[in-house]
Homo-oligomer: A and B are copies of this chain.
Amino acid sequence: MSMAKRKIRDAAAQVDVSDAVLARFLGYHLKRAQTVLMGDMNGAIAPLGLRMITFSALAMVVANAGLRQSQLADALAVERPNLVVILDDLEERGLITRDRVPSDRRAYALRPTPAGRTLFDEATAAVAAHEARMLAGVSAADRAAALRVLAAIRHGAGGA
């Protein structure tokens, strides 16, 4: 069987596939982009021993020193029990401390260590560089518009 004939037969046997039926939905693009970005970003900070969720937690502790676990869980939309293991990791690696709050001895105040601040700086640079690479071909105006749209989705779910 000739190469030409084989190609024709293969073409007949396999339908051309398009995701146009889904591409009309922003939610579809959102999910696909999120998967790609998250995977790629995790790769970018893996050398620092971080994942996106651990980086987020560390960043929030650096920027909001003294906050409590429940506040952090709320801010990141992570269930409290799941945050515990994330903070265990950061604490064991000497990046943050859990300090008992004198005025409420149930609570822990989370604070970064010097090592935590240093790693945060490195990771922030890595994440920023990675995003810059991913958005290289995108105009600042489009980037700003995308931010507005994402914020609207995040805050307006089920609204009106």
- Collect the chain B residues with CB atoms within 8 Å of residue A12's CB: 103
Smallest CB gap from A70: residue in B: B14
Within the assembled complex, what's the spacing in Å between the Cα atoms of A17 and B16?
Answer: 51
Number of this chain's copies in the assembly equals: 2
- A35 CB within 8 Å of chain B: yes
Smallest CB gap from A44: residue in B: B158
Report the minimum CB–CB distance from A95 to chain B (whole Å): 15
- A81 CB within 8 Å of chain B: no
Q: What's the dominant secondary structure at chain A's contact region?
A: helix
Number of interface residues of A (CB under 8 A): 79
B157 touches A135 (CB 8 A): no
A25 touches B71 (CB 8 A): no
A59 touches B22 (CB 8 A): yes
A36 touches B157 (CB 8 A): yes
- Collect the chain B residues with CB atoms within 8 Å of residue A41's CB: 27
